[in-house]
Amino acid sequence: MGNYPSPYTHTILSQQFTPEFLKEVFELADKIRANPKEYQDALRGKVVATLFYEPSTRTRLSFESAIAKLGGAVISTENAREASSASKGETIEDTIRIISMYADMIVMRHYEDDASLKALATVSVPLINAGSGRSQHPTQALLDVYTIWRERGTVEDLEISVVGDLLNGRTCDSLVYVLAKFPGNTFNFVAPDNCSLKEGLKEHLEENKVEFKEHKAIEDIIETTDVLYMTRVQKERFGDEKEYEKAAGQYILTKGLVERMKKDAIILHPLPRVDEIAVEADLDSRAKYFEQAQNGLWVRMALLVILARRN
């Protein structure tokens, strides 16, 4: 675990998650989806703050829905960059110190890569990183791996291919850090030249002797892949419009490409989708990205229950 906090205390980085912790989260998520009424009072009397400095649809609303379904109360700001004291120059550390006085848990999304790590310095309640800049999105990894677990029946001995913006996207890193813990998994990375895999993640895979290859074409990996993880090119992360245009639209999963995939392969996407998956692919049984989004509710409910029980 290194210097990472316990996953039973805070959710900051995917490196925190052990196979045992994942098993506990996934089994509880299954129990909740089978009988949600049994957990309708799990957060009764608890207040959860959702503090979002960046736009969000699925993450913020699934967390707020999860809190409501568990009987908790939400205090929220969906545009904290402008609608909180951050606009007056208040530091993350001070903001988190104050919100810890009002809430029993904090869910935070921020545009800075190290925001959740900064927040750890002053937080006094469980903190959940709901996305930090280009760095990580650990609860997205939880729901991604949960979807693989449910759809494939295993998270071992899989060929996983991640396609798109691997430099600016945080979901790739979070997913790979988790799946690299399991035996037999190999990775393919397909990205534009100016959006290639982060060096830190590459070094992690090399140090842990995890097999991976970098490619320039989806066609190179489409027929052997078990899990195809598509991502969008993140326009908002580019400071230069020309650099964005170099990367945009290079990789599009067409119906023809989907038809070449293994029958038991699955297609995932953290969403939102722009043009990287053709709408025609939605009807294919291998397309699981909407189920993946739905799974976010159950997984986040499970995580909130576990944190509430332990703190």
Return the residue matching tokens 């290194």.
2
Reported confidence tier of residue 57, pLDDT bands at 50, 70, 90? confident
Report CA 231 to chain centroid distance, whole Å: 12
Distance CA 276, CA 286 (A): 16
Q: Which pLDDT does position 3 carry in this prediction?
A: 74
Give residue-wise pLDDT tens across range 230-255. Answer: 998 876 666 667 766 766 777 899 99
Catalytic pick from 59, 139, 186, 231? 59
309: annotated active-site residue:
no
Residue 215 predicted with pLDDT over 60: yes
Catalytic pick from 88, 209, 242, 263? 88
109: annotated active-site residue:
yes
Distance CA 14, CA 25 (A): 14
In sequence order, what DSSP letters do the residues of 249-288 get, joined into one string? TS--B-HHHHHTS-TT-EEE--S--SSSB-GGGGGSTTB-
CATH says 14-136+294-310 is which class?
A: alpha beta
Report the chain's C-alpha Rg in angstroms.
19
**Contact partners, residue 199, CB within 8 Å, separation at least 6:** none
Does an H or E element contain 17, and which? none
Cα–Cα nearest to 143, from 309, 298, 308: 298
Q: Which pLDDT does position 1 carry in this prediction?
A: 44
Reported confidence tier of residue 290, pLDDT bands at 50, 70, 90? very high
58: annotated active-site residue:
yes
Q: Taking the CA atoms of 304, 152, 202 and 167 in sequence, report the sign of the dihedral they define.
A: negative
Catalytic pick from 9, 18, 33, 58? 58
In this structure, are residues 100 and 78 in contact, taking their beta carbons and an 8 Å threshold?
Answer: no
- Starting at the edge strand that comes first in sequence, how are the strands of the sheet with 159-163 ordered? 212-215, 186-190, 159-163, 227-230, 266-268
- In the chain, residues under CATH classification 3.40.50.1370 are 14-136+294-310, 138-291
Residue 176 predicted with pLDDT over 70: yes
Second-level CATH architecture of 138-291: 3-Layer(aba) Sandwich (3.40)
Contacts of 86-90 spanning 24+ positions with Cβ under 8 A: 86/53
Catalytic pick from 137, 170, 181, 288? 137
Q: How many CB atoms lie within 10 A of CB 53?
A: 25
Percent of the chain with pLDDT over 90: 77
Give residue-wise pLDDT tens across range 8-27. Answer: 999 999 999 999 999 999 99
In this structure, are residues 153 and 145 in contact, taking their beta carbons and an 8 Å threshold?
Answer: no
Catalytic pick from 46, 60, 109, 288? 109
Give residue-wise pLDDT tens across range 86-143. Answer: 556 779 999 999 999 999 999 999 999 999 999 999 999 999 999 998 889 999 999 9
